[in-house]
Amino acid sequence: MPTIIVDESQGTPTASTAGREAQPRGRQVQMGKSAQSGSTNWVTVAFMVAFHIGAIAALFFFTWTGLIAAVVMYMLAINVGIGMGYHRLLTHRGYKTPRLIEYAIAICGTLALEGGPIFWVATHRIHHQLSDHPGDPHTPHDGGWWAHMGWILTGQSLHSQYQVLGKYAPDLARDRFYRLLSKYHWVPLTVSGLILLAIGGWSAVLWGVFLRVTLGLHSTWLVNSATHMWGSRRFATRDDSRNNWWVALLTGGEGWHNNHHAHPVSARHGLKWYEFDPNYYGIWLLKKLGLAKDVKIAIYDRHNPKPAGTA
Is the pLDDT confidence value at 20 over 50? no
Residue 306 forms part of a structural domain: no
DSSP element (H, E) containing 201: helix 187-205
d(CA 178, CA 93): 15
- Residue 303 in domain: no
In order of 10, 103, 173, 231, the CA distances from 261 in angstroms are 24, 26, 25, 14
Is 12's pLDDT higher than 60?
no
Four-residue CA torsion sign, 54, 60, 61, 65: positive
pLDDT of residue 154: 84
The pLDDT confidence band at residue 207, using thresholds 50, 70 and 90, is very high
Q: Is residue 177 part of a domain?
A: yes
pLDDT above 80 for 168: yes
Is pLDDT above 60 for 30? no
Residue 306 pLDDT more than 50?
no
Over the stretch 153-163, which tens digit does the pLDDT of each residue have? 986 655 555 56
Q: Is 297 helix (H, G, I), strand (E, B) or coil?
A: strand
CB distance 9 to 294 below 8 Å: yes
User: In the prediction, which pLDDT does 33 show?
Assistant: 63
How much is the pTM?
0.87
311 lies in a domain? no
Kindly report, residue by residue over 270-280, the tens digit of the pLDDT.
999 999 999 99
DSSP-assigned letter for residue 276:
-
The dihedrals phi and psi of 114, each to the nearest 5 degrees, come to -110, 20
pLDDT value, residue 299: 78
Number of helices (H), then strands (E), in the chain: 14, 3
Out of 41-45, 137-141, 248-252, pick the least confident. 41-45
Examine residue 12 and state whether it is found in any structural domain, yes or no.
yes
Considering the domain boundaries, does residue 289 fall inside one? yes
Question: Does residue 309 belong to any structural domain of this protein?
Answer: no
Number of domains in the chain: 1
Specify the pLDDT at position 311: 32
Instruction: Give the long-range contacts of residues 304-310, CB within 8 A, separation 24 or more.
Output: 307/3, 307/234, 307/235, 307/262, 308/1, 308/3, 308/4, 309/1, 309/2, 309/3, 309/4, 310/3, 310/235, 310/236, 310/237, 310/262
Stretch 44-57: mean pLDDT, rounded? 96
For residues 84 and 105, the answer to whether their CB atoms sit within 8 Å is yes
Q: How confident is the model at residue 21 (pLDDT cuts 50, 70, 90)?
A: very low
Q: Is residue 103 part of a domain?
A: yes
Task: Provide the domain limits for residue 91.
Answer: 4-22+30-298
CB 253 within 8 A of CB 276: yes
Residues in the chain: 311
**Mean pLDDT, all residues of the chain:** 86
Residue 29 confidence (pLDDT): 53
Q: Which residues contact 284 (CB under 8 A, 6 or more apart)?
A: 295
- Give 69-127 pLDDT, tens digit per residue: 999 999 999 999 999 999 999 999 999 999 999 999 999 999 999 999 999 999 999 99
